[in-house]
Amino acid sequence: MRHNGLIIESLNVSIHGQNILRGVSVDVKPGSITTLLGPSGCGKSTLLKTIVGLLEIDHGSINLNSNSLIPVPVHKRGVGLMFQSQALFPHKNVEQNVAFGLQMQGAKAEQYRDKVSELLDIVGLSGFNKRNIGTLSGGEGQRVALARALAPKPNVLLLDEPFNSLDRSLRTKLLEEVRNILKMLDIAAIHVTHDWNEATYMADSMAFMNEGQIIRTGTIEEILANPQYSIVADLIGMETIWFPEFFEENGILFFETPWGRKEVNLANQNNIAALIRPENVHISRDGIQAEVLTKISTVGEWILKCRVTPDFTVAVKTTNNYLTGDRVSLQLDLESIEMLEIH
Rounded to an integer, what distance in angstroms lies between the CA atom of residue 11 and that of residue 25? 6
Identify the DSSP state of 180.
H
Query: Per the CATH hierarchy, to which homologous superfamily does domain 241-341 belong?
Result: Nucleic acid-binding proteins (2.40.50.140)
Which residues of the chain fall short of a pLDDT of 70? 1-3, 86, 109, 238-239, 267-268, 298-299, 343
The CB-based long-range contact list for 226-229 (8 Å cut-off, 24+ gap) reads 227/275, 227/340, 228/340, 228/341, 229/340, 229/341, 229/342, 229/343
What's the confidence (pLDDT) of residue 115? 86
The Cα–Cα gap between 21 and 210 comes to 10
From 3, 52, 48, select the one nearest 28 (Cα to Cα): 3
Whether this model's pTM surpasses 0.85: no
Decide: 20 and 192 in contact? Cβ < 8 Å: no
How much is the pLDDT for 2?
55
The confidence score (pLDDT) of residue 298 equals: 63
Asked if 61 and 10 count as a contact pair (C-beta separation under 8 A), the reply is yes
CATH of domain 6-227: 3.40.50.300
Domains in the chain: boundaries: 6-227, 241-341
Tell me the Ramachandran region of residue 76: left when phi exceeds 0, alpha when psi lies from -120 to 50, beta otherwise. Answer: alpha
- Among left, alpha and beta (phi > 0; psi -120 to 50; other), residue 307 is beta
pLDDT of residue 308: 94
pLDDT of the residue at 1: 45
Instruction: Establish how many alpha carbons lie within 13 A of residue 43's alpha carbon, considering only the half-sphere containing its beta carbon.
Output: 26
Q: Between the CA of residue 78 and those of 55, 59, 258, what are the distances in Å?
A: 16, 22, 56
